[in-house]
């Protein structure tokens, strides 16, 4: 068998050995299946969350649990909305229960250091709730030594990195960075075969009203589904961002668990 930090690559006894004997941190990537414009794949969020979890696990001697590929509902003002083909969402309660169940299962087999690595903006509060409920239910069952770290891998970006990448332009914010320069550059670096730079259209940025509508109005979002343009993204920008985020996740894990 190959040397791997991925749970799915390990035999049961090797996995068991790592969490029981080595007390390895178990990282759970959570993403989404969601449109990302014409130039990025539907799997962008879970692919990037899994990439970050793998790199961080390699740094800290962790194990990456099989990823949760589906995520909470794409919101029109942060993810382009639920209406475009392929954006396949979970209800909030489903995501909470799914993540909670997996966390408790990981703990049942001995994991005590857990990390939820989020790659999809809209998951945020549902993952908080899943972690909270998992810890509470474990405490009721007498397990009080399990700890869960939860973070969006891009939680923090150094101002100088943004300055380099958005030289002369305005950073739209993480909520509008959907199919934009950050995600496009990171995918160019991590999954170059999954990016088609020739398909980024010339579109005006959306101007959202300060409220939401249910059902959503698809016309709020540009035809491509992107909320900011990925034009001008390069592999080098991707390297800068990805290595910074790998470091951010790795040092966060080391700080809390070592
Ligand atoms: Zn995304
Ligand atoms: Mn997303």
In CATH, what number is assigned to the domain containing residue 152? Answer: 3.40.50.10310
CB 220 within 8 A of CB 168: no
Whether residue 2 is contained in a domain is answered as no
Q: What is the pLDDT of residue 152?
A: 97
Q: Which residues are catalytic?
A: 34, 36, 45, 120, 122, 178, 183
Whether residue 68 is contained in a domain is answered as yes
Q: Report how far residue 154's alpha carbon sits from residue 45's, in angstroms, rounded to the nearest whole number.
A: 12
pTM of the model: 0.97
Query: Domain total for the chain?
Result: 1
Whether residue 241 is contained in a domain is answered as yes
Whether residue 110 is contained in a domain is answered as yes
Range of the domain at 45: 7-257
C-alpha 144 – ligand 2 centre gap (Å):
33
C-alpha 104 – ligand 1 centre gap (Å):
27
Residue ranges near ligand 2 (ion) with Cβ within 5 Å: 32, 34, 45, 79, 120
Query: Is pLDDT above 90 for 2?
Result: no
Q: What is the pLDDT of residue 168?
A: 82
Q: Report how far residue 195's alpha carbon sits from residue 185's, in angstroms, rounded to the nearest whole number.
A: 9
- The pLDDT tens digits for 180-199 are 999 999 999 999 999 999 99
- The pLDDT tens digits for 129-149 are 999 999 999 999 999 999 999
- The pLDDT tens digits for 113-134 are 999 999 999 999 999 999 999 9
Q: What is the pLDDT of residue 157?
A: 94
C-alpha 57 – ligand 1 centre gap (Å):
21
Whether residue 1 is contained in a domain is answered as no
């Amino acid at each position: 068998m190959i040397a791997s930090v991925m749970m799915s690559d390990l035999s049961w006894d090797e996995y068991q050995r790592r969490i029981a004997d080595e007390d390895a941190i178990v990282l759970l990537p959570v993403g989404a299946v969601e449109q990302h414009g014409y130039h990025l794949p539907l799997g962008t969020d879970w692919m990037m969350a899994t990439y970050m979890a793998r790199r961080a696990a390699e740094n800290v001697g962790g194990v990456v649990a099989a990823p949760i590929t589906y995520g909470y509902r794409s919101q029109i003002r942060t993810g382009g909305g639920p209406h475009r083909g392929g954006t396949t969402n979970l209800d909030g309660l489903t995501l909470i229960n799914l993540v909670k169940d997996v966390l408790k299962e990981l703990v049942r087999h001995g994991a005590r250091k857990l990390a939820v690595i989020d790659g999809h903006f809209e998951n945020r509060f549902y993952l908080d709730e899943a972690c909270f409920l998992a810890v509470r239910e474990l405490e009721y069952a007498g397990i009080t030594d399990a700890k869960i770290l939860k973070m969006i891998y891009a939680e923090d970006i150094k101002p100088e990195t943004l300055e380099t990448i958005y030289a002369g332009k305005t950073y739209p914010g993480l909520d509008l960075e959907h199919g934009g320069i950050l995600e496009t550059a990171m995918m160019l670096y991590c999954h170059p075969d999954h990016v088609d730079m020739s398909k980024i259209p010339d579109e005006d940025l959306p101007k959202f009203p300060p409220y939401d509508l249910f059902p959503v109005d698809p016309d709020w979002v540009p035809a491509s589904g992107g909320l900011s343009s990925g034009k001008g993204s390069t592999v080098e920008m991707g390297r800068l961002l990805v290595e910074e985020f790998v470091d951010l996740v790795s040092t966060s894990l080391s700080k809390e668990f070592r």
